Amino acid sequence: MLDDFIVRAIIAGIGIALVTGPLGCFVVWRRLSFFGDTLAHSALLGVLISITLDINVSLTIFVVASLVAILLLRLERTTNLAGDSLLGLISHSSLAIGLVILGFLSFIRFDVMGVLFGDILSVNSNDLLVIWIGGALILVVLSYIWKPLFASTVNYELAEAEGMKPERVNAIFTILLAALIAISIKMIGVLLITGLLIIPTAMARNLSDNPRQMVILSIIGGLLSVLIGLYASFEINTSSGPSIVVVALILFILSLMRIRKKNYE
């Protein structure tokens, strides 16, 4: 019963959940969920470019997402648009451009649904390597910049005044986010990766009273979502990405009951 692709999917899922937990906390704390969404949407463009030019998919997504992040930061400084309008502009434009390009590429067989919602069956051993090496790198860098990043999340000016170089660590964090999207698109999909980033974290927020606890619970929530979601996906033959996110949502709802109880006590 335990097929190779199931084992691969589980290993891949665990690798991704270990990274989305801590990164998700920073996305929630810094209110960057729409920003993460925008980077994720640009991944479709990245996939199509990689197919057209025949270059490595993860690498292309990473480069495209990083470029989009730089573009966003630039535009934020030079235009009068509010941050969320700007994000909407870039996010939907990149998605639309991706889909238009797809129209021109009628000569290749391309599974759009797979890119949008994740296709666990397509995860091969090469992808596993990318996920685990990439994920490990992300976590190593994140632990290295953890203190200054956390300090600048709590108060930017205080962090800067006390020599924590917030501008630099913020830029590094954005790159880490782009890297996470690059390694996880195949599994979760363009439209749902932000869900795996923030829903387990939102659950963790309901249950924790300090940052460390929140990170740990967020990782556990992500792992449970991935494992149960994948199991459901194989058993009842649903897409892997949506199944994982639905499980995360159920965990979040359960955590709400706990917080209700707390408030009444």
Interface contacts to other proteins, rule CB under 8 A: 28-29, 31, 147-148, 150-151, 153-155, 157-164, 205, 208-214
Smallest distance from the beta carbon of 214 to other proteins, in angstroms?
6
Tell me how far apart the alpha carbons of residues 215 and 233 are, in angstroms, rounded to a whole number: 26
SS (H, E, C) the chain: CCCHHHHHHHHHHHHHHHHHHHHHHHHHHCCCHHHHHHHHHHHHHHHHHHHHHCCCHHHHHHHHHHHHHHHHHHHHHHCCCCHHHHHHHHHHHHHHHHHHHHHHCCCCCCCHHHHHHCCHHHCCHHHHHHHHHHHHHHHHHHHHHHHHHHHHHHCHHHHHHCCCCHHHHHHHHHHHHHHHHHHHHHHHCCCCHHHHHHHHHHHHHHHCCCHHHHHHHHHHHHHHHHHHHHHHHHHHCCCHHHHHHHHHHHHHHHHHHHHHHHHHC
Q: Which residue number, 23 or 159, has a Cβ lying nearer to other proteins?
A: 159
Q: Which residue number, 83 or 133, has a Cβ lying nearer to other proteins?
A: 83
Smallest distance from the beta carbon of 135 to other proteins, in angstroms?
24
Smallest distance from the beta carbon of 201 to other proteins, in angstroms?
9
Q: Which residue number, 152 or 243, has a Cβ lying nearer to other proteins?
A: 152
Smallest distance from the beta carbon of 29 to other proteins, in angstroms?
5
Q: Which residue number, 52 or 213, has a Cβ lying nearer to other proteins?
A: 213
Smallest distance from the beta carbon of 264 to other proteins, in angstroms?
18
Smallest distance from the beta carbon of 247 to other proteins, in angstroms?
22
Amino acid at the residue 140:
V
Q: Which residue number, 152 or 240, has a Cβ lying nearer to other proteins?
A: 152
Q: Which residue number, 64 or 149, has a Cβ lying nearer to other proteins?
A: 149
Asked if 250 and 199 count as a contact pair (C-beta separation under 8 A), the reply is: no
